[in-house]
Structure 1
Amino acid sequence: MAQQRVIATAPGKINCYFRVGPPREDGYHEVASLYVAVSLTEQIEATLRTDGELQLSLEPDSPVVHDPENFPLGEGNLVYQAAQLLREHTGTTLGADLHITKRVPIAGGMGGGSADAAATLVACNELWQTHLDREELGRLGARLGADVPFALMGGAAIGLGIGDQLAPLLTRAKTHWVLIPASYGLSTPRVYGMLDRLRSGMDIEVPKEIDPAVIEALMASDAPALAQVLANDLTQASLALAPELGTMRDLAEGAGALRAMVSGSGPTLALLVRDGEHAEEVMAQLGDEVGVATIDVTAPAAGARITLSE
């Protein structure tokens, strides 16, 4: 018997390590990534409809939505696509009102859209009682985007292939980060396209593994050691498209961050700090002296999960 209302959340992510190979014939790139889920989540509230319709709405006070009137709430939204894919896969004729609360920066390199899709799959699977297990949801999620399976899993994981071949790291060792969201987004395909142009004529190898030093530092929660080995191949492309990110990165490290890096394809900056107290110090410095908005998060965080079902 279907539920009447379900709320689910899913986390954004940071790539502590991200190596990118040359473009494949299908346009994707092979990567070697170390994902960590962070304590900044997207939320989907799914309410049952018996008419088979899918209707999306947006929480008006979502802090990262700068232009709510132009926020897509149709078939182009990953929330709609995830719900529709689940319906097609299971054959259910039920529908849902899907209310989105966004907290992860949009087009910010933190997988917010993928988190939306993951939360939707979990919420609608419970709402409609379609009884897919996490492995099946993960296979569906991979059809929506390479980061969706990790948003379902959470925690920390090595990602190979196009990022969808996941091997979880069993760690509860906590790291602390400060995020600097931008007032604009960067299209992930555009960033990859810029990377390919910057590398034109170069012999780029397909990445096969993660630097063991990154895994060791993360597992030990050794922030100073981790700061020395953070890596992101997309940085040069992001800075080419948004040079001001380089200036902000330098300001962040000048304010005391152990390391400031572009998160994924950007333009969100992720600042590694020692602990919660250090996070407050860096945030105060950036706020008082530069007037920069910041968000403090910890990692790892749980994957997509139900927080209410009734």
Structure 2
Amino acid sequence: MKPLIENDLIWGAWRARHSDTTREPDGFARLLALCLELEIDWIDHADIYDDGAVEDLHGRAIQRLSAAQRQGLRVITKCGVRFPSPGQPGVRTVHYRSDAAYLHQQADASLQRLGVDQIDLYLLHRPDYLMQAEETARALEDLHTSGKIAAYGVSNFSIHQLERLRASTELPMAAHQIEISVGETSALDDGRLDQAARLDMPLLTWSPLAGGRLFHDDGRLQPLRERLEQVAREMDAGGIDEIALAWLKGLPARIQPILGTMQPDRLRRQVMAYRALNLDRQDWYAILEAERGTPVP
């Protein structure tokens, strides 16, 4: 089967409304145009990002693009998370939903905000412990049959939760979005990396720079930061972010990091470095040991 996501990187719009560069439609449109220039055509959203305002910003921004540019973009969005906020009246506590009525409602709302006719990849944002897998699967199949979504996937699922949903439908699961970085390596040992490799399923990695913790004064990550700085000097890299991304690139699966920077120069530098840098195996393991604080067994 032809891979759904063929390019190596994704741009994540989560913080777009919190940056002077992208908070207005014109700036957001310029960032989208840069993504296309850099051969990044997948844009990552979720219906809860600023209560849907980021999806709405995307919808307004693409009106500034040419028809060819709009056609070249691919949209990922996620649904299923509920929490108390002005945009979610009546919600008293954080919870998750995967029932059919909710999936249809949220898909329609995201399509309207994003200003597109089809969501290219629709993800269940978090595992719903009350999920009726067969009902959820039928809803996803209906959304696919109607043309509202081109493909579906999940985010932050365990290997067992993922397999349960896969077993409930013949519609292929297209991707799994999880957190992996030099500062979060649990997927290497809990089966999620191996499962993705076995299924040849893309792992869309959120917070590939450890949510920015690599650049803050985090005592636990100081040894890791020092190791990254050493490798960056030895490789004449532009920063530890480039080494952290190259570390992800070494994983034996279809890793596709979601870059979250809103700064055009930084985005361009990270993309160029990711495609150029390859870590030595010993450096890769030295970075892993620095993160875990103990030698590998």
Normalised by the shorter chain, which TM-score bucket?
under 0.3
TM-score by length of 2: 0.27
TM-score by length of 1: 0.26
Q: Which structure shows the bigger proportion of residues in strand conformation?
A: 1
Larger RCO of the pair (alpha carbons < 8 Å, separation 6+)? 1
Q: Which structure shows the bigger proportion of residues in helix conformation?
A: 2
